Amino acid sequence: MARQKKDGTVNVGKIIDISGKSGKELSVISKNIRKFREQIGMEQKELSIELGMSESTVGNWERGYSKPTIDVLLPLCRILGITLYDLFGVNDPVMKYSAGEQMLMSDYRELSMYHKDAVKNLIGNLRKAEVMEEIPEITELTYFSRQLAAGVGDPTDLYDEGDPMYFYSSELVDKADFVFTVNGESMEPEYHNGDMVLIQKFPECGDLNPGEIGAFMIGNEAYIKEFQPDGLHSLNPKFNTMKFTQEDKVYLIGRVIGTVDNSDIASAYDVDRYEKANADRVRDYND
């Protein structure tokens, strides 16, 4: 974000040409959008999603065919983690200390080295606390693709499989442990091919009652099915009931408690801030 002057105004008027006539500013902006985007490892598509714009719009900025409008500049800088001065490639003007800040600096200089370190640690902790307050609450779940790894024959082995996936915390998400992708059309119209479902693991979820939907493991493959005493049923009447003998090994992975909406999935920008903040917490604890 652009730094504010002490009267509360944002000093950007002298460095932003919104007339669209200046080729120099456009060239600098184009280069800097791409440079800072690549520095944080963000793809054009990710940046466009964060801004709520098309990928071609961001591509046109970086190729110099167009430039961001004035209302997009601050969100763009926030996502890239830079200031307006960075974006326009100019030096940040030196800001004078207020009377109160000068008094604090004067008092700080009178402290011993030990107490100066204590002040630095306090300021560092307060800044981290403010960063954490700005980051949305995120829940990490274990995501499984359609086919489980060969050799997995027991739900307890699931803890060694899957990949971490991050979601914005909610009452439903916080109850879940796993995320599975629906494969095929057997559970339509309730669950469609490619849908991601939230699973509360067994035994925490309790036994399934007839008519409830669960995630089951049979051999090395996972299924989303309706439990009934005579077998596992599909919601789509075109599919037959899966029946089993006493010798067949059918494991309950957990209860299906809901589906994932795209808005539930945490953005790459928020996940990056979440991971960095938690890495700092671990580092501070170890220190």
pTM: 0.51
What would the CATH number be for the domain defined by 139-264? 2.10.109.10
Mean pLDDT in consecutive groups of 10 residues from the start of the chain, 287 residues: 42 36 60 90 91 91 88 91 85 64 81 88 78 78 64 54 87 91 89 90 89 86 88 92 84 91 88 75 47
- Domain spans, the chain: 1-96, 99-134, 139-264
H/E run at residue 228: strand 221-228
What would the CATH number be for the domain defined by 1-96? 1.10.260.40
Alpha helices in 93-214 (DSSP H): 99-109, 113-134
Q: How far apart are CA 144 and CA 181, in angstroms?
A: 7
Q: What angle do CA 108, 112, 115 make, to 5 degrees?
A: 70
**Residue of 241, 235, 251 lying closest to 148 (CA atoms):** 251
